[in-house]
Structure 1
């Protein structure tokens, strides 16, 4: 066994029902006296409640999906003008992403209070969209110093959005099994993340007002993000970054739709990862476990329902080819990406998108090996 794993330095506080006190304490630990609170307009009232005991000099409510560069510049200018020395975010990935854009150029520390399961709070990954291109990178300055997880602040997240956000977290776990920098630690974290999310998500759907399921979701989302931050972006995330940044598709729903197609595409060439994922789901095959979960919670099913046009498939496929990780377990060609995107656009059975026939997941069979696979890659 030979690998190098780097752990991130971060405080993680699980404090059910005690977010305001925990945020106050984390801000004090930083020695901050001029705090900028970032939240989307819809969560502005919640943000004020969470930061009631914090020395706030600015409430900033312009959080936009995919963090447009111009939005980031306005937020940076506001932080400079108010001489901000700490950022508190209350919201999902877009909100945390905006704070990261500020920290990227200023080094101002972040205390994150997540209200979704996006996981951005536990990664050193930043993203900005300029024009129709989404840029991402890794920088230690953007990693929040502290995370305050309080399941009560997620109670206002609608069930449908909880499902999409939870499956987004699950995508972090799956991609971490074969991402460019993956190692056994990442894979162990991802496996436990899958178990927690698989337990928590049906509970949230069945009992939206209950806290136990939402706590499991926050726990799973944290594990998934830590694994993803270390392992890097695999094929799934590269596809979704292109779709989200270029076509302005909703982040969580896009991840939720694309995930089964990438899983079905890669697992024939990654039997060890397939076994780990299946074990985490507790099913005979990875795709069976994912599809059962998706069916149970009513997952988003097709890109055409979320603003992606059939006419854009070819252009999107070409853009994706430019960013495919060289380490992906299965060879990615233009033809294969087009088939994957078309299947995701239609909402087709993911096991029918390849040229070779395979049994549907509902027959509870393990995905058969691809006879064309040689040395970890499939033939042309």
Structure 2
């Protein structure tokens, strides 16, 4: 076995069904008097539910800031920090997906306030010390242990009304974290175990949730079991994302998201098969590709084949960057930005022709092929 280093740095996690009711006791450990509750405009009702639980328990005052946005624009963070100062808050609760969690991280790293996350998607940002922020169309990413949230409360019941499309997209987003962790420059056997288990259970749960999206009431119990499995898998994949370096796939997602304001999860979905295809021929990724193929249904020993088969089962194979409203004229701009400074470590050298063709195929919505 090769020499490796494993560093564990994760927040306190409470996982289960109905765990939202334990929020007051978790907040008491923060010793906060006034809490800032963060959400997007679409999740105000969920934030208000959280606010009522806090208020009824009498553990803290609270104020809601509902302007969280994709890619964590710095001007939104500026407004939120000012709002927090005006309300004299001494703790943060973020309720939602990656956009809301990202805003909570941005406020926390600026102010030093403790940050509790209540995820409602499978994005996994709550388990990472990584913050991506956008300013003037450019998204920059940094890693700092201080960015890591203080605690995470997973309540499976909050996922009951998550639309099936978003369920699938954010679930594949989670899979992408684990895929790149398998061939990360600083991967290790522990993270590889997490990655394989996370991918395996998500590959079981996501098709089940898709198939049961029009189920009758008597099928609600199997749906809940599948949601539990999906959330467990996403949690493991989030740990992977927070523990090792990412590679080409995440570099492209951050670059394109910042340049063209593309939806984060869908961008992950479109790019993942092509990033896997790009790295499939790299000798440094051979072991990782074999592990990936072993946990993908219908892979038959080929990770690219397995990803394509999964996408057909999840009915996502026709998505494209063009369909997400990225202009065709942006292909070269995206390639230049991805190959610029601050390159991510990748098992295969980043070659302009190959990276440009990867982006072009993703823009056109072509099926991933190993000939990149």
Do they superpose with TM above 0.5? yes
Cα distance in 2 between the residues matched to 1:43 and 1:280: 34
1:155-188 deviation per Cα after TM superposition (whole angstroms, max 9, x unaligned): 2221111111111111101111122332222222
Instruction: Report which stretch shifted further, 58-67 or 328-337.
Output: 328-337
1:91 equivalenced with 2:96 (yes/no) = yes
Does the 8 Å CA contact 2:184/2:347 hold for their aligned counterparts? no
Cα distance in 1 between the residues matched to 2:349 and 2:370: 18
Within a 5 Å distance, the mapping from 1:192-341 to structure 2 comes to: 192-208=197-213, 210-269=223-282, 270-282=285-297, 283-284=299-300, 285-299=302-316, 301-323=319-341, 325=343, 327-341=345-359
* Unaligned 5+ runs, structure 1: 355-380
**Cα offset for 1:325?**
4.4
Matched residue, 1:378: none
- Spell out structure 1 runs of 4+ moving beyond 4 A: 323-326
Does the 8 Å CA contact 1:324/1:332 hold for their aligned counterparts? no
Does the 8 Å CA contact 1:133/1:242 hold for their aligned counterparts? yes
Does the 8 Å CA contact 1:238/1:324 hold for their aligned counterparts? no
Q: Report the number of matched residues.
A: 353
Cα distance in 1 between the residues matched to 2:162 and 2:275: 27
Q: Could you say what secondary structure the match of 1:220 adopts? A: helix
Change in Cα spacing, 1:59 to 1:170, as seen in structure 2 (3 Å) is: same
More RCO (CA 8 Å, sep 6+): 2
Please give the TM-score of this superposition, normalised by the length of structure 1. Answer: 0.89
Cα distance in 1 between the residues matched to 2:224 and 2:363: 34
Matched residue, 2:42: 42
Q: Could you say what secondary structure the match of 1:88 adopts? A: strand
Within a 5 Å distance, the mapping from 1:98-109 to structure 2 comes to: 98-109=103-114
Does the 8 Å CA contact 2:246/2:344 hold for their aligned counterparts? no
Within a 5 Å distance, the mapping from 1:139-218 to structure 2 comes to: 139-208=144-213, 210-218=223-231
1:198-251 deviation per Cα after TM superposition (whole angstroms, max 9, x unaligned): 111111112235211111111111111111111122110001100001111110
1:285-340 deviation per Cα after TM superposition (whole angstroms, max 9, x unaligned): 21222112111111262111101111111111111112574641212211111100
Instruction: Report which stretch shifted further, 321-330 or 110-119.
Output: 321-330
Does the 8 Å CA contact 1:339/1:353 hold for their aligned counterparts? no
Question: Which of the numbers 359, 362, 365 marks the counterpart of 1:344?
Answer: 362
Give RMSD over aligned pairs.
1.5
Cα distance in 2 between the residues matched to 1:254 and 1:353: 22
Question: Which of the numbers 129, 137, 160 marks the counterpart of 1:124?
Answer: 129
